[in-house]
Amino acid sequence: MAHRFLVKDIAFQAGLSTATVDRVLNGRSGVRHQTTMRVQAAIAELEKQQIGGEVSGRKLAIDVVMETPERFSTAVRDAFEAEVATFLPTVFRCRFHFAEVMKQAELVQLLDRIRLRGTNGIVLKAPDVPEVAAAVSRATDAGIPVVTLVTDLPNSSRSAYAGADNRAAGETAAYLIGEHFDKAPGRVLVTLSSGRFRGEEEREIGFRRVLRERYPLISVTEISEGHGTDVATGTLAARAIAADPAINAVYSIGGGNRAVLAAFEAAQRPVRIFVAHDLDADNRALLTARKISFVLHHDLRTDARSAFRAVMSRSARGGIAARALSSVEIVTPYNMPAMG
C-alpha cells in the first residue's frame, strides 16, 4: 500500500496500533477487511490534510466521535472538512470515529483510548448516560476539551455544546403539523432513533408540549430504538401503522425516512404531512420528490465552526451557558440551500 507517512502518524489518524497498521501496510495475513479500509481512509485523510500543510500556524488534532446513521455522519464529515480551510493558519487534523450503533462499553473504551493516546479536543455525539458522562469527566480532568455536537450532555463536564436548540425545533415541527390539520384531528407517528439521546428527547418534549397546549386534537404514537437505520426503523414503523389505522402524519426525529415512507406505501396508507430533520442526501432527494413536506435544517458547518472555536479556546469546564446554538431553518423544495 503506497504511502508517504510515518506508521505512527497513520496509526494515530486511524485509531489503530502501529503493529496493526504495519501488518496492513505489509500485506500480512489475518487482517480484517474493515481494518484495511480504516488504514486506507487514514492515508487518504492525511493526504488531504497535507494540502496547505506548509502553512505555518497552530496544528490541532481533534477526534470526532459519533453514534449516528451513516447518512448523517457523512454530512458531518463533509461539514468539518469544509470548515478546516477557514481556520488557516491554524490547521485542524480531524480523526473521525463513526458507528451507526455503538455499545455503551465500546464508546466509553474509545473515549478512554483517545484520552490516553492524546488529543487537542473531542467532539462528541453520544447517549446521555452516566457512563459516558464519567468518560467525559476523565477527559476534561486530563485537560482535553469535550464539545458535544447536535445532542448535549448537560450534566457532564463538557466544555461546550454546538448544535440547534432541539426543544425549539420540536416546537416548530408541532406548529407546522398543527397548522396543517387546521383544528382537525390527526395522529402523528413520532420516530426516535433512541431514547438515550438528550437532543431527541428535547425535540419530543417541545413537540408534545405545543400539541398539548395548542392542538389538543392531534395525538402521538411513538417508536424508538431503530437507531435511524432503515431496516430496524422500517420494521417498527410497519408495526405501528398496522396497529393504528388513525396514523396519518409523521414527525421524524431519528431518521430512516425512506423506510418509514415504504411502510406507509406497503400498507396503502397516505401521509398528510411529513416533517423531518437534517438536510442530508436522502432528505434532499425525498424533499425534491415531494415525498416529505418540510425539513428542519441547521447548518452543520456552523456547528463545526463552533466546535473548532471551543477547542481553540479550551473553554472552561461545564456550564449549560456554554452553548453555541445554530438557527433552525424550515426548508421546502423551493428554498433548499446549495450543497457544500
CATH number for the domain spanning 223: value is 3.40.50.2300
pLDDT greater than 70 at residue 261: yes
Q: 189-245 pLDDT, tens per residue?
A: 999 999 999 999 999 999 999 999 999 999 999 999 999 999 999 999 999 999 999
pLDDT over 70 for what percent of the chain? 94
Of residues 25, 53, 52, the one with CA closest to residue 38: 25
pTM of the model: 0.81
Question: Tell me, what's the pLDDT at 13?
Answer: 77
Print burial letters for 282-302: b (CB count within 10 Å at least 16), e (below 16): bbbebbeeebbbbbbbbbbbb
Q: Are 154 and 140 in contact (CB under 8 A)?
A: no
Q: Are 173 and 296 in contact (CB under 8 A)?
A: yes
The answer to whether residue 331 is domain-embedded is no
Question: Tell me, what's the pLDDT at 3?
Answer: 65
Average pLDDT over residues 149-161: 94
CA 239 to chain centre: 26
Question: Tell me, what's the pLDDT at 191?
Answer: 98
SS3 for 324? strand
Average pLDDT over residues 75-81: 93
Distances (CA, A) of 37 to 48, 170, 248, 270: 17, 38, 43, 42
Using 50, 70 and 90 to split pLDDT, how confident is the model at 316? Answer: very low
Segment among 3-12, 24-33, 43-52, 151-160 with least mean pLDDT: 43-52
Question: Tell me, what's the pLDDT at 132?
Answer: 97
CA 5 to chain centre: 30
- Distance from C-alpha of 71 to C-alpha of 300, rounded to nearest angstrom: 13
- Distance from C-alpha of 121 to C-alpha of 147, rounded to nearest angstrom: 8
Question: Tell me, what's the pLDDT at 198?
Answer: 94
Average pLDDT over residues 31-57: 74
Q: How many domains does the chain have?
A: 3
Using 50, 70 and 90 to split pLDDT, how confident is the model at 340? Answer: low
Domain that holds residue 283: 166-297
Q: Are residues 85 and 127 in the same domain?
A: yes
Q: Are residues 96 and 150 in the same domain?
A: yes
Q: Are residues 91 and 30 in the same domain?
A: no
Q: Are 64 and 148 in contact (CB under 8 A)?
A: no
